[in-house]
Structure 1
């Protein structure tokens, strides 16, 4: 069992109601921005690549949660940490995966298509996934029973945070494509920075608790993030996807919208210690790891390009 500074299952992370409202707005803006950057053609492209899209959906919503479930048992983490890991694994991808795919010189069209499809499916699959895997967990199921989590309640919350802004963004993208393109370029980075700001403020407000307990989740998040990225990469390699598509699959499976997970922790789990710490630290570490992988791929691409240039 991972050594604990105390009982992380017994603590609650404080989060001001105003900050929770801000988090909902920011997440809505992120999903709105994703939809603005999504065209009907992206779904048409997805329909033309049903095998690859289906592979990504299975990897995100079936394989990753299942592997995460096994990882929580192997690490023998506390119940709240296990639920936090499962919650993050059940989250949909965010627009960061599109940015990283572009930076890595990957298949951006596939990435955008998978993000759009993944977020639509997550409205239903995310709450059901968490209820299923959390209910199977030997210690996590007790916490779920104590909280009396209803999948229908979470479905309504996820639908509100994802479904409404996504539908609004798709509508604008359809009716005003020029405005949508400009809006997506501005809203994407602004909402991402805003989410980072909300997480930083939340950590600062609970700095003492963060310092006392961060060691509990450091190894778990590090390994979990590596497993998530490795799952996407491994699935792509096993199915012999092209290199550009492999990069997209890696980030679509490996990059999770942990901000949404954080919102659900405070909305349904009363800021449960391990869950909040996992979601908050994942939001930071996932970006660091993703940028590192993307940069390595980008450098390899540049070196490969340079070797193909004939001397004058």
Structure 2
């Protein structure tokens, strides 16, 4: 059996282009629902902004690094963990927050700001921690990752759709709202379909190697959810905001992670399988925790 680090996921260049477009459309649909007021809400409550940014872009990548040092997974799996931790929050976090009876306005505002901040922080965090851990640094040396190319792709996939979507919302609000209702479900369905097709093309690979990432992916996601909740609690935020911060930290844009993996690492086995599993599992864990929180109205001390 081939070592996991040598397994390559079968995903051709045509499929990669479609994945690029689908993810950009998803982000455009999300941006149509974002207004300048969403950013103003955060700046009026700097404590919420500070805690959200610290939890997602500083503590989660750092905690992931220590988790990797502790369990010492295969290098490609460790790279997948660093990639997922470096990505901004997933676009379903707002929906999960609503189900969990969290602060939806805060969730939307943090998602918007996180997407903006991710233009810089996603490439930085991934490159920094991957280089800091010796086994993953060796893998990076073999693929010759161009950091500027990584930044450019993140700008193209996140930055451009964000600017265009918010611009359209500002100028044509009625049209933007109609498009948002249409594009969000459509683009997500297309994106999921692409991921499913990728799975079907590599069914043998996933069946053979999924056990390598199963418990790591679940444990990593639980760590992210718990981290967001504990940090928010430590800063004495309301119970509603604690739930929101947990979801924003634990629901990551693994679709972006997969795209970067296919683009720069040719679908390196452990990375792609970990990110793909996370993309499925965080929906399951998010729905489970939302159901639990929606039934429990305990107020944190």
Q: TM-score, normalised by structure 1?
A: 0.93
Corresponding position: 1:259 with 2:255: yes
Aligned to 2:103: 107
Tell me which moved more, 208-217 or 190-199: 190-199
Aligned to 2:114: 118
* Aligned equivalent of 1:152, options 148, 151, 163: 148
Aligned to 1:236: 232
* Aligned equivalent of 2:170, options 170, 174, 179: 174
* Aligned equivalent of 1:214, options 187, 210, 216: 210
2:185 & 2:46 partners in 1: Cα distance?
A: 30
Aligned-partner SS, 2:182: helix
Following superposition, the deviation at residue 190 of structure 1 comes to 2.1
Aligned to 1:76: 72
Aligned to 1:63: 59
Aligned-partner SS, 1:139: helix
* Aligned equivalent of 1:18, options 2, 14, 30: 14
Following superposition, the deviation at residue 52 of structure 1 comes to 0.9
* Cα-Cα RMSD: 1.2
Tell me which moved more, 140-149 or 182-191: 182-191
Aligned to 1:309: none
Aligned to 1:284: 280
1:57 & 1:198 partners in 2: Cα distance?
A: 31
Q: Which runs of 4+ in 1 moved over 3 A?
A: none
Verify the 8 A CA contact 1:23 1:263 in the aligned structure 2.
Answer: yes
Verify the 8 A CA contact 1:6 1:213 in the aligned structure 2.
Answer: no
Q: Which runs of 5+ in 2 are unaligned?
A: none
Following superposition, the deviation at residue 61 of structure 1 comes to 0.9
Q: Which runs of 5+ in 1 are unaligned?
A: 305-312
- Report how many residues are paired: 298
Tell me which moved more, 246-255 or 79-88: 246-255
Aligned-partner SS, 2:213: helix
